[in-house]
Amino acid sequence: MSDRHDRLLEHLSQADGWLTAAELAGRLGVTTRSVRSYVTAVKSMAAPLEVIESSTEGYRLDRESYAAFLAQASGREASPDTPQERMYHLTRRLADAPEGLDVHDLSDSLFVSESTIEADLRKVKTLAEECRLSLVRHGSTVTLAGGEYDLRRMLSRIFRDENAQRFVRLSSIQEEFTSVDLGAFKTDLMAMLDENGYFVNEYGVDNVLLHVAIAVDRAAIAPSGPGRPRAEVPPRVVEISGQLEALIRRHFAVELSGADLDYLAMLLTTRVVTPGHGAPVQTVVDEYVTPEHLGEVRRIVKRVNEEYLVDLDDEDFMVRLSLHVANLIARARDDSFSRNPMTRSIKTGFPMIYELAVFIASELQGYAHIDVNDDEIAYIALHVGSYLERQARRRERVTCAIVCPNYYDMHVDLRRRIEESLGDELQVEIVITRTDVEWAQLAADLVVTTLPGAPMSDRVVVIQPFLTQADVEALRRAAARVRRIRHRARIKEQLLQFFDPSLFLRNFHAEDDAAMIRALGERMRVAGIVDDAYIESAVAREALSSTAFTDDLAVPHSMTMTASRTAIAIVVNEQPMPWGENRVHVIALIAFSASGRSAFQAVFDQFVDVFSDRDVVRRIIARAVDFPTFIEELVRGIDS
């Protein structure tokens, strides 16, 4: 199954319901015709199982049939039929045969001609040389020559290539190395790392377990290990290798060499674990952080603030990122980057966070003179995204005032219980212990009181003196209501930066997409937003590729950012008009200015997301009869 078929199934597996051909085309970056051909191909491969259901609503994955199809595929005996499969097969066989293999025997065992084997061996030779190995020929006998360390790296590489486009899974390793039971070993390994105070990157563990399986599998062939001298290994690695030795002996009854154990421990410390779990930040800095790395991270964080106006200036964040940078540099210099299964979803789902990570990676490349690939950029994005998410949660907390008359410090106990139960959602600003309260003067989002005579208001919540679970739920609902009102107000404020009543049109039609762009562009020109060159640039951009993002929305725009300000001219039509291969109800001509790009991105992502929901689109088309109702419906759609 090809990568495009895998990607189609991946998108379908992540959806809760039906996906239209247009939605899939947008995610895959192909035409709807290509989507239909991919679906047909997958159905043919999986027959008689019906892995993809089709209807007028689009396509949906039949999860039970898909699971059965995967089980069947994994249970089939792999036959090296294609040139690439034969190349990998030959490489594995050569690695297991130090004395070499005979070309005639290989031809007979694979049922192909000797000329085919010779062609395959030329590919093996190229792969071997890329891994600092060589293919040696003596008559009809071929031998794979080189160091054990490079040979194991090549085995790891071909295994990952055979499982292309996906991160290494424990089940896949288990299928390849049937003599090695890794499940229980992984459990004990994770416990050992946790006891030693490490943060564990679960995404990288199975990748290291692949190397463990290779080492155990090859222990009989190369008992001396990969050939890395112990003197080069840092003390932290030596400590882990000692505990790793005991685990491997207990689980696999195999004695690995010191070089083997040090290599595996080095992989763990650079790909899987970060020290300092549960330790104060200063302790982590003193014991684990390189001053040069921390200084560079501080410089990069300052540049991020200058270039993107994003504040990452937090000591804990910079220290954790410095630890990650140390491991990243070690991996890059060893040319052993760590696969990240979330790379594609981070790039497509969080483009601005990924853009920040790209910038940080670019700065690190210049600092350390290394290359950083997409998988490693995605790991940086996880650091950035998790920090920004924590910051957003703090900002989203609802403020509250507690009104509880003083009686044997009952107000102290009430505050403590509220903060224990709702500390992530409520921030207590003030506690008032009097009964004569000026309710209107309390500036907090919510007023929590034990007084039964409190005024009736959405922001006043009356609770029991001794907090009950019902009280907790009532406070949680009230906090959610405040956040929703606040969120809607913020969305509306953002939208009004880019939408204008004079640029809203209802049931406005043009002869074709170019005519519509020019008509909307003229309104923008009159408003002083764009010039004629910008309009023609937008027409030219549309001619290159349709900007119909969904079946309902087209977003024409220029490839230049020369507008005086970022703005959107919008048309909402009850009857759709042709636009490329689609028919759209809504046309949004966007004028980009360089200065407004970053502020606009968040609004644009939400705007496009709204129009991927067909129910929301129908509601907007039906109810958005003028500019105010359009904004209200758009806010409701974004907030829903």
Range 554-559 average pLDDT: 86
Same fold, 3-75 and 281-394: no
Superfamily of domain covering 281-394: PRD domain (1.10.1790.10)
> End-to-end alpha-carbon separation of the chain, Å?
37
| Residue that the structure tokens 């090859």 belong to | 218
Euclidean distance between CA atoms 103 and 85, whole angstroms: 17
- pTM > 0.75: yes or no: no
143 pLDDT more than 90? yes
DSSP of 195-239, one letter per residue?
HTTEEE-HHHHHHHHHHHHHHHHTTTT-TT-S---GGGS-HHHHH
**Average confidence (pLDDT) over 142-167:** 75
Q: What is the bridge-based pairing of β-strands 582-593 and 562-579?
A: antiparallel
**Quick one: pLDDT band at residue 230, thresholds 50, 70, 90?**
very low
Supply the angle between the helices 202-217 and 235-252 in degrees, to the nearest 10. 60
At 343, the pLDDT band (50, 70, 90 cuts) reads: confident
Topology (CATH) of 3-75: Arc Repressor Mutant, subunit A (1.10.10)
pLDDT band at 166 (very low <50, low <70, confident <90, very high): very low
Going from N- to C-terminal start, the domains of the chain cover: 3-75, 83-146, 170-275, 281-394, 397-467, 492-639
**Confidence label for 254 from pLDDT (cuts 50, 70 and 90):** confident
- In this prediction, residue 134 carries a pLDDT of 92
**pLDDT beyond 90 at 255:** no
* 8 A C-beta contact, residue 270 and residue 287: no
pLDDT digits (tens, 9 = 90+) for 516-540: 999 999 999 999 999 999 999 999 9
Per-residue pLDDT, 77: 47
- CATH fold label, 397-467: Rossmann fold (3.40.50)
Higher pLDDT, 69 or 176: 69
Token readout for 634 is 């758009």
pLDDT value of position 165: 43
Which own/partner pairs from 163-170 qualify as long-range (CB within 8 Å, at least 24 positions apart)? 164/3, 165/3, 165/6, 165/7, 166/6, 166/341, 167/203, 167/206, 167/207, 167/339, 167/340, 167/341, 168/206, 168/207, 168/209, 168/210, 168/339, 169/206, 170/206, 170/209
> pLDDT value at position 227?
54
Residue 509 tokens read as 């039609």
| pLDDT attached to residue 330 | 82
Tokens 């001509």 locate to 589
The full DSSP string for 111-150 is TS-HHHHHHHHHHHHHHHHHTT-EEEEETTEEEEES-HHH
**Where does 499-593 have alpha helices with state H?**
513-526, 532-544
Least confident of 232-236, 587-591, 602-606: 232-236
pLDDT attached to residue 360: 93
How far is 289 from 302, CA to CA, in rounded Å?
A: 19
Res. 112 pLDDT band, cuts 50 70 90: confident
> Does residue 589 register a pLDDT over 90?
yes
**CB neighbour burial string for 367-382, b if at least 16 within 10 angstroms, e if fewer:** bbebebebbbbbbbbb
Fold exhibited by the domain 83-146: Arc Repressor Mutant, subunit A (1.10.10)
pLDDT digits (tens, 9 = 90+) for 496-517: 888 889 999 999 999 999 999 9
Q: Among 219-223, 280-284, 359-363, 436-440, name the one with the lowest average pLDDT.
A: 219-223
Class of CATH domain 492-639: alpha beta
Average pLDDT over the chain reads 83
Query: pLDDT at position 75, please?
Result: 52
